[in-house]
Amino acid sequence: MEKDHFLLSMLVNNEAGVLTRISGLFARRGFNIDSLSVGETENSSISRITIASHGDDYFKEQIALQLRKLHDVKVVELMDLGSTVRRELLLIKVKIDDTTSRSQILEAVNIFRAKIIDLSPVSLTIEITGEKTKLEAFIEYLTPYGVSELCRTGVTAIGRGNYILKTKINEEENSNGEHVL
């Protein structure tokens, strides 16, 4: 993990166009989105967006401040990576030419604790979840066999134990009075 990488988790109103607002803000302020994942939370009117980005302290601070100005954003948290669990999902399709490569691939699947989700005479499709480094190691291992295609979801993250994002909404609202900005 490079030292200037950071992870932002946010809770936003589940309104049409909210993702456009967030990604548009990154674009026009000159910030980078390395990966993005989004989905509804246990409260269907709220979505959770996780963005992996990189940049120095100036960028880290500014992007969080700018995001908080958006009306649809309820909470922005620069995740404390030491107290955060990160996961990404990868679907990868490998060519199988002969039985040797197939068994070697199966071995790797077991070692990496991945799953085979599709099998055809010419290819094998594998599902694997884990941290970025694990996925990259897996891809590196499979590459010589011939990867036909792969798709990654981008990282999502959740805090450990009592590190709960929605409790931060009340903190922000209480310290600021009304969320007037």
Partner 1 sequence: MKLTGAQIVIEALLEQGVDTVFGYPGGTVLNIYDELYKASDKIRHIITCHEQGATHAADGYARTTGKTGVVIATSGPGATNTVTGLANAYLDSTPLVAITGNVACPLIGRDTFQEVDITGVTMPITKHNYIVKDVHRLAAVLREAFQIASSGRPGPVLVDIPKDVQAAVCDFKRKPVPASKRLEKIDPASLEKAVKLIKDSKKPFIYFGGGVVISDASKELMEFAEKLGAPMGSSMMGLSAVPNGHPLFLGMTGMHGRFAASKVLSLSDLIIAVGTRFSDRATGNKSEFSKNRRILHIDIDPAEVGKNIPAYASLIGDVKQALRLLLEAGIEKASGSWREEVEQIKSMPDSHLGMDMEKLNPQAIIEDVCRQSEDDWNIATDVGQHQMWTAQYYKFKRPRSFITSGGLGTMGFGMGAAIGAAIGTGKRTVLFTSDGSFHMNMNEMATAVSLNLPLTVILMNNNALGMVRQWQTMFYGSRYSQTTLNRQTDYVKLAEAFGAGGIRLTDKDKIGAVLAEALAAKGPVLVEAVIDSDEKVLPMIPPGGTINDIILKG
Q: Which residues bind to partner 1, rule: CB under 8 A?
A: 17, 20-21, 24, 28, 58, 61-62, 65-66, 68-72, 175-178, 180-181
Which among 73, 65, 4, 74 is positioned nearest to 32, based on CA atoms? 4
* Cβ proximity of 79 and 7 under 8 Å: yes
* Structure-block tokens of residue 39: 């989905």
Report the nearest approach of partner 1 to the CB of residue 111 (Å).
Answer: 47
Report the nearest approach of partner 1 to the CB of residue 16 (Å).
Answer: 8
**Is the Cα torsion angle 32, 34, 39, 42 positive or negative in sign?**
negative
Residue with smaller CB distance to partner 1, 68 or 87: 68
For residue 54, count other CB atoms closer than 10 A to its CB: 16
Residue with smaller CB distance to partner 1, 5 or 69: 69
Residue with smaller CB distance to partner 1, 62 or 153: 62
Report the nearest approach of partner 1 to the CB of residue 81 (Å).
Answer: 23
